[in-house]
Amino acid sequence: MIQQGKKVSEAASISTKKNEFSWLRQDIPSLPDEPFVGNLINYQERVDGYLYSSEYVNPDKLEESEMVYANWNQLANRWLDLEDVTPYFNLAPEEIKDYPVFQIDSLTKLNQAKALYDFASQEIELLSSSWLEPIYPLDKLLIEKKGNSFDKNMLLLHLLRKQGINANLVMVNDKYIGRKRLIEVPFINQFGSSVISAEIEGKNYLLDASDSIVPFGLLPLEKLVDQGFVLERGKGRLEKLHHQFRSGSIQTVKLDKNDSLGFVLKNQIRLTDHEAIKIGKAIRSFNGEGSIFENVSRFKNLDLNEINIDNQLKEKRAVTLSFDSKIEDSNGELVFIYPFQFSEFFKNPFTQESRLLPVEFQFPFFENLNSTISIPLGYELEDYPESISITIPSKSVKFSYLVNLAENELKIATKLDVTSEYFSVSEYPDLKYIFEELANHLNTPVVLKKITKP
């Protein structure tokens, strides 16, 4: 039984024999509608009961039952002995019809792992499934060429071990469905999917072959969780997961002017890791109608022209977008330039004066924005934002907006670096202030004025 919430624990009434439990709670407030709150299940007042067995077990003979697990190691060993799991460890290639052949022995271990990852990721179709085990044994999976997360990752595990790479399957929960904190007792139904933990050339890699769009070395957003259940025979355990990524964007903007279009901003945005995956998914789901980026927040309702996409998600975990955006002359005299309107935070998401729940971003991230505005002939610089550099007390959010004015050229370098995904309610005023300053500077235009001849 799991109690969540201080007031729930305080309201608990437990009988002397500990066989009757009751809670009385009144006037329970609703959860607020706030941006960046993560999974609301983590903030509900609730009581959950968990069965320790899916079969009847005589309470006087618990020690004799195979259905009750005293520790994580016992649970891991039981799972590894499942009928459809053992072939991934025991079957030899010569026993399997049409077993894939890889000419990779001359490659480094890392490149061998990447080649095997591509096979498991690309060649096996992902099926939606709530099963906590493979749908097929190894030989049938290679015939069907489709399976769930466990099928695909168990295939990858099999291939890695065959190449002498130390790897284990790890069960994880979905951060948008399950609890943030795992139950510390061996209860398997709190998990929903799997990843692979592999030691390659002295470095630990977390891999997930489930989604073909996710490149080697990254996990999908829902699997960026703190802990996982390592299914290693004789060493089954809960273990902290160490994620290695640098997600963000680097944008360069240059002002251009031509006779037909007038003022145009030439934009290039390089997105890395999880920001690149968002674009990769937009590209995959595009059906040829409308805008390819209509579901990407930073590009919504913006008129883009001359779009070019350099998709290197697989090779470099990056996607580079190049495009033009037109600037409208306000009144013929003044030109208002907003070089950074493609920032995720062009609009401040934190407008509430106070907050009840912590702030949870999807992942730590950065934005680097660089603009070069060459003042065209016949114009002069009328106004521009001032430089600023601020951080919050924890140093986990830093923002700088630095302006450099040279002869006939204005350069602006903006950096936002968020090194944590979680911020407590007490940090909200500082977080709100820094994002207000960010949005204010991004929304303050560079103003050019047409020179009037005397």
Report the number of secondary-structure helices (H) and strands (E) in the chain: 9, 24
Alpha carbon separation from 11 to 16, 170, 209 (Å, rounded): 16, 37, 45
Q: How many Cα atoms sit within 13 Å of 177 on the Cβ side?
A: 12
Tokens of 81: 């002995």
pLDDT at 401: 96
Closest to 286 (Cα-Cα) out of 299, 274, 273: 299
Same domain, 321 and 432: yes
What are the per-10-residue average pLDDT scores of the chain (454 residues)? 74 79 81 86 76 55 58 91 94 88 95 97 93 94 95 97 97 88 85 96 97 95 95 95 95 84 87 94 77 70 79 95 79 84 89 93 96 90 94 96 92 96 95 95 92 71
pLDDT at 205: 97
Same domain, 83 and 181: yes
- Total count of domains within the chain: 3
Alpha carbon separation from 350 to 34, 165, 398 (Å, rounded): 9, 46, 16
Residue 22 contacts residue 29 (beta carbons within 8 Å): no
The last residue of one of the domains, among 180, 214, 240, is 240
Residues spanned by the domain of 123: 69-240
Helix, strand, coil percentages, rounded to 5, for the chain: 25, 30, 45
- Domain with residue 358: its CATH number is 2.60.120.1130
pLDDT at 66: 56
pLDDT at 285: 79
pLDDT at 64: 56
Residue 141 contacts residue 155 (beta carbons within 8 Å): yes
pTM: 0.87
Distance between CA atoms of 336 and 324, rounded to whole angstroms?
A: 16
Distance between CA atoms of 116 and 279, rounded to whole angstroms?
A: 24
Same domain, 148 and 223: yes
pLDDT at 243: 95
Same domain, 259 and 226: no
pLDDT at 123: 95
Same domain, 302 and 187: no
46-48 vs 2-4, strand pairing mode: antiparallel
First CA to last CA across the chain, in angstroms?
84
pLDDT at 436: 96
Same domain, 256 and 227: no
pLDDT at 226: 93
The last residue of one of the domains, among 59, 83, 108, is 59
The burial of 336, by beta-carbon neighbours within 10 Å (0-12 exposed, 13-18 middle, 19 or more buried), is given as middle
In a domain, 64, yes or no: no
Q: 114: which residues sit within 8 A by CB, 6+ positions away?
A: 216
The last residue of one of the domains, among 201, 218, 240, is 240
Distance between CA atoms of 221 and 152, rounded to whole angstroms?
A: 18
CA-CA-CA-CA dihedral for 180, 365, 322, 402, to nearest 10:
160
Alpha carbon separation from 226 to 88, 167, 172, 223, 331 (Å, rounded): 27, 19, 9, 9, 54
- Domain with residue 189: its CATH number is 3.10.620.30
